[in-house]
Chains A and B, each alone.
Chain A
Amino acid sequence: MTDSTKREVSAASVRTLELVVAALILVFGAAVMFDSWRLGASWAEDGPQAGYFPFYIGLLVVIASVTVFVRALRNSQLAARSFVGRDQLRMILMLLVPSIVYVALIQMIGIYVASILFIAFFMLWLGKYSIVRAAAVSVGVMVAFFLVFEIWFKVPLPKGPIEAALGLN
């Protein structure tokens, strides 16, 4: 890991990420405290109010994130360390972006067809397989999942118009 980060161009330093993440956690903690306060974070006649416990949880989140933030701000060494290299980031986005498209596709055309497209896309794009092999593997995998989930364990998965046309619903 350390060797590769030296050679690679860094996309972001550890310090930047530490600061951003600590700030986001701070916002999260503040939101928790705010809503708990709205609900009432003190003692009612019949016991602690709904916001009592979460309020202090939120307070601890805020304290912890501020501490991490200040520490990262003071630690200048962190700025020199790479959080992620450009090439690494590209690899990650190469998986993440198609995954987002994939989840959107599940919503539209059901999980089976979306998964077949997703697996085949990766095999063609990253693996440089032939269309025949990509189709065989992706369809085979999803037929196996269909048998396990729908037939054996009777767990229905989201389906779309194509399954409906095949009468598999």
Chain B
Amino acid sequence: MEEISALMQGFGVALTLKNLGFMFVGVTLGVIIGVLPGLGGANGVAILLPLTFTLAQQPGGTTTAIILLSCIYWGALFGGAITSILFNIPGEPWSVATTFDGYPMAQKGEAGKALTAAFTSSFIGAFIAVVVITFLSPIIAKFALKFGPPEYFSVYLLTFCAFIGMAKGQAMKTIAAMMIGFALAAVGMDTVTGQLRLTYGFTELLQGFDFLIAVIGLFGIGEILLTLEEGLAFKGANAKIDMAVVKETWRELPRYWVTSIRSAAVGCFMGIVPGGATPASFMSYGLAKRMSREGDQLGTGKVEGVVAPETAAHAAGTSALLPMITLGVPGSPTAAVLLGGLLIWGLQPGPMLFIEQKDFVWGLIASMYLGNIAGLIVVLTCVPLFAAILRIPFAIIAPVILVVCAIGAYTVHNSMFDVWLMLFFGVVGYVFKKLDYPLAPLVLALVLGDRAEAAFRQAILGSQGDLSVFFSNWLVGTITALALLLLVWPLLGGALARSKASS
């Protein structure tokens, strides 16, 4: 029970008055970010990341900084449920399934019940995922210590193949978006040879493209432009949660324990696989519809229809951090931004964290428990306040969000060029979103590009250019094979469906 004592030590690190304060600040900011159009987990964290630069330089400051940022993430996850239920606007892609039953419940006047159910199941999903992280991450980290460059490259390959294999739309668009990310990551000074790549003589491009700017532009500005299309007014149900409703809902929730456990399992598993939170929420909703006794009534405003996707989405969103801290491979754009934060603060994400930065890792894991409790308290008590934010007229909120994005983009490198770049990425994000080019693989490739390339170079340097190095032992061979299998999965699935249809 090494993990328990390490976790207890982690609580010792996380449970200072300062960290608790930042936890509540983070969660509150996160919920606000989650309910505002154009701001979500990924770009919210990206905008606030520069605020932690000075914070992280103090002794023990990196732990406080990661607590602040991860709590913004938890808050944003909670906030997504508020907009889904009250306004029928999913704040994040994984809250889409929550609207199916959440919004009908709100229309029936059961908004308080739906919100309580959503928050509570979010909490349960996240809690189960944190328990999984607590016990699984030391094992994975220990395992990953054996990894050399070929193994690392094969893990990156697995991450990116999973995106292509699980893509909903055209796989070619996923590939295009992802490779654009890789190409943008290559811009600037090549660290190995010192040569300038792809700058075409522009001095502004010497530093390369920062993924934070891309995240703020693609998700922030792009999202506002999309919101504009849908019209300016939000029409929402009224929300009030009093203790009586909470107690009543809590008495009802244990009835759905099977759904909860099933959804949490789906969420934890899918979250570790990259890009899994959104499919996890749909999958878990689908499973509830098929397997539950009242399944055929889902979609008309049933509590169970809120429980299933919310538990899964939160479990997935939380467990997406598992590969990030153990392998340095983020599973979602927000996890990628957090990873970027670690790099900026001078920490190397990956298995060595568990040896060299014990306090940091276990402080972070302990803060996941505490942060979610803080989140539950904040959302249950402050819903009317957050719903009121959504009623601020668009003529005020849109320019303010733009100002926030501009400040966020500027503060990353104190550069005006970045602010222009952000606007450009905003237009790209809007067009890509409408044409179904996925943005998450682009961002992930931009974050991981340099590391993936370095691993690739070192690996084939060792083998003198022979690509068979990626099959040279059972470990790297298995991961590479799995990656290739995921890559051709849609083709296999299509062939299977065709042969079934013909027979």
Contacts and interface: CB of A to CB of B under 8 A. Distances in A.
B395 A106 contact: no
A28 to B, nearest CB: 7
B54 A28 contact: no
A138 B368 CA distance: 36
Contacts of A61: 176, 179-180, 183
A50 B51 CA distance: 35
A54 interface: yes
Given A48-B460, A118-B399, A123-B396, A35 B179 contact: no
A111 B407 CA distance: 8
B186 interface: yes
Contacts of B173: 64, 68
A88 B430 CA distance: 13
A35 B197 contact: yes
Interface of A: prevailing SS:
helix
Q: Which of A21, A83, A100 has the most CB of B within 10 A?
A: A21
B195 A39 contact: yes
Contacts of A64: 172-173, 175-176, 179
Interface stretch (B135-143, B305-313, B415-423): B415-423
User: From DSSP, what is the main secondary structure of chain B's interface residues?
Assistant: helix
Given A95-B228, A118-B402, A29 B183 contact: yes
Contacts of B390: none
A145 B179 contact: no
Contact of A50 (B55, B195, B410, B431): B195
B228 A53 contact: no
Nearest to A118: B399
A65 B427 CA distance: 19
A100 B423 contact: yes
B388 interface: no
A77 B173 CA distance: 18
A127 interface: yes
B496 interface: no
A165 interface: no
Contact of A122 (B198, B229, B398, B453): B398
A153 B176 contact: no
B403 A119 contact: yes
Given A48-B460, A68-B172, A119 B197 contact: no
Contact of A35 (B198, B229, B399, B456): B198
Contact of A84 (B183, B224, B229, B423): B229
- Residue of B173, B411, B461, B465 most packed against chain A (CB within 10 A): B173
A68 B170 contact: yes
A60 B179 contact: yes
A148 to B, nearest CB: 8
A67 B179 CA distance: 14
B393 interface: yes
Interface in B42-58: 50-51, 53-55
A121 B460 CA distance: 57
Interface centre among B403, B427, B431, B460 (most CB of A within 10 A): B403
Contacts of A18: 435
B352 interface: no
A169 interface: no
Nearest to A126: B395
Interface string B374-407: 0000000000000000000111101110110011
A60 B229 contact: no
Nearest to A145: B407
A53 B454 CA distance: 10
A96 interface: yes
Nearest to B462: A47
B501 interface: no
B235 interface: no
Contacts of A84: 229, 434
14 contacts: A21-B431, A29-B183, A48-B460, A53-B453, A53-B456, A54-B182, A57-B186, A83-B435, A92-B225, A106-B416, A119-B400, A122-B396, A127-B396, A149-B407
Interface of B: 50-51, 53-55, 170, 172-173, 175-176, 179-180, 182-183, 186, 190, 192-193, 195, 197-198, 200, 221, 224-225, 228-230, 232, 393-396, 398-400, 402-403, 406-407, 410-411, 414, 416, 419-420, 423, 427, 430-432, 434-435, 437, 453, 456-457, 460-461, 465
Given A51-B197, A64-B172, A119-B403, 15 more contacts: A29-B179, A31-B200, A49-B193, A53-B453, A54-B182, A57-B186, A64-B179, A103-B416, A106-B406, A115-B403, A122-B396, A123-B395, A125-B395, A142-B403, A153-B54
